[in-house]
Amino acid sequence: MKNGQINNFRNQSLPLLLALTFLMLMPGETLAKDARITNLLPAPSAIKGLIPEGRFKLAEGEKLYEIINGGAALYLRQQFQEAVFQDYKTNNGRLITLEIYRMGSPTNARAIFESKKSVNGAELSIGDAGWMAEYYCLLQQGPYFVSITGNQPSDNLRRALVEMANQVSATLIRVGPR
């Protein structure tokens, strides 16, 4: 290599080297956890007619109070680990909220599932336990509890909720419990 080529190589490599150094100095456990739970969110193209609305929210441990202040204690009593929250908009402007919670064990996730089930609803054959009510769908699979809620009950909404529950369940099967 000639002197000019060496300097050009150094100039091109410096930004990459700085970026790699920065990533190595960041706490790796946090990056891994964030990547793992957010990978459970359906891809934007996975469910026809649903578009992610804004950026997802993450919570870990006591930070759950910042997102669901009134309900966080129930989850924390059941060994809450982490959660991801994402809103979606339907083609007709309706809002669907997906919440995925990783609990300490399948038993903890089932306890949350049972406490959230309403009297009016029907079992779904999704995951280890599934439940469909008028405007929401619940799923428990391994250490995960999933809640999918719509804002205006309709047959189309219920179909979208079940489709999203199936998508999340398939992802959980592929990724496996953490």
Per-residue DSSP letter, 53? E
| CB 58 within 8 Å of CB 32 | no
| CB 52 within 8 Å of CB 24 | no
Percent of the chain with pLDDT over 90: 55
Average pLDDT score over residue span 132-146: 95
Q: Identify the band that residue 156 occupies on the pLDDT scale cut at 50, 70 and 90.
A: confident
Closest CA to 92 of 154, 137, 166: 154
**Does the pLDDT of residue 44 top 80, yes or no?**
no
- Topology adopted by domain 39-175: Protein Transport Mog1p; Chain A (3.40.1000)
Closest CA to 163 of 119, 130, 114: 130
Amino acid present at 104: G
Q: What is the pLDDT of residue 133?
A: 93
pTM: 0.78
**Does the pLDDT of residue 98 top 90, yes or no?**
yes
Count Cα atoms within 13 angstroms, Cβ side, for 156. Answer: 12
pLDDT, tens digit, 9 for 90 and up, residues 29-40 = 333 444 479 999
- H helical segments located in the chain: 3-25, 28-38, 72-77, 106-116, 155-175
Q: What is the pLDDT of residue 155?
A: 86
117 contact partners, CB below 8 Å, separation of at least 6:
131, 133, 138
Average pLDDT score over residue span 80-109: 94
